Structure 1
Amino acid sequence: MRSCGILSGRLPISGRMNKSVDSHSNRNPSPLWPWALALYARPGVSEALLALQDKADLDVCELLWGLWLLAHDRAPVAELASRLAPVRQWRQHYTKPLRRLRRDLKAQAAGHPVLEQMRTHIKAAELQSERETLRQLEALTLSASIPCPPHEAFKAFSRLLIGELAPHHQALISQLHLESENMVPPSC
Structure 2
Amino acid sequence: MNKSMGSHSNRNLPALWPWALALYARPGVSDALLELQNEAGLDVCELLWGLWLLVHGRAPVAAPASVLAPVRQWQQHYTQPLRQLRRDLKAQAAGRPELEQMRTHIKKAELQSEREMLRQLEALAVSAALPRPAHLSFEALLRPLTGELNARHHQLISHLRLESENMAPTSC
TM-score by length of 1: 0.83
Change (3 A) 1:102 1:87: same
Partner of 1:80: 64
Change (3 A) 1:186 1:130: farther
Query: Aligned to 1:140, what secondary structure does the other structure show?
Result: helix
1:148 pairs with 2:132: yes
1: CA distance, partners of 2:64 / 2:129:
8
Q: List per-residue Cα deviations over 1:92-149 (Å, max 9, x = no partner).
A: 0000000000000011001111101100000000000000000000000011111124
Partner of 2:110: 126
1:168 Cα deviation after fit: 0.4
Change (3 A) 1:187 1:106: farther
Partner of 1:171: 155
Q: Which of 52, 56, 77 is residue 36 of structure 2 equivalent to?
A: 52
1: CA distance, partners of 2:10 / 2:46:
26
* Count of aligned pairs: 170
2: CA distance, partners of 1:180 / 1:57:
21
Query: Aligned to 1:146, what secondary structure does the other structure show?
Result: strand
> Which amino acid counterpart does residue 170 of structure 1 have in structure 2?
H
RMSD: 2.2
- Please tell me whether the aligned partners of residues 70 and 153 of structure 1 are also in contact (alpha carbons under 8 angstroms): no
2: CA distance, partners of 1:110 / 1:183:
37
Query: Aligned to 2:7, what secondary structure does the other structure show?
Result: coil
Partner of 2:76: 92
2: CA distance, partners of 1:26 / 1:64:
16
Percent identical: 72
1:51 Cα deviation after fit: 0.2
2: CA distance, partners of 1:83 / 1:41:
29
Any unmatched runs of 5+ in structure 1? Answer: 10-24
- Please tell me whether the aligned partners of residues 56 and 168 of structure 2 are also in contact (alpha carbons under 8 angstroms): no
- Please tell me whether the aligned partners of residues 6 and 58 of structure 2 are also in contact (alpha carbons under 8 angstroms): no
1:26 Cα deviation after fit: 10
Q: Which of 51, 60, 75 is residue 67 of structure 1 equivalent to?
A: 51
1:61 Cα deviation after fit: 0.2
2: CA distance, partners of 1:151 / 1:129:
36
1:102 pairs with 2:101: no
1:162 pairs with 2:146: yes
Any unmatched runs of 5+ in structure 2? Answer: none
Q: List per-residue Cα deviations over 1:49-73 (Å, max 9, x = no partner).
A: 0000000000000000000001111
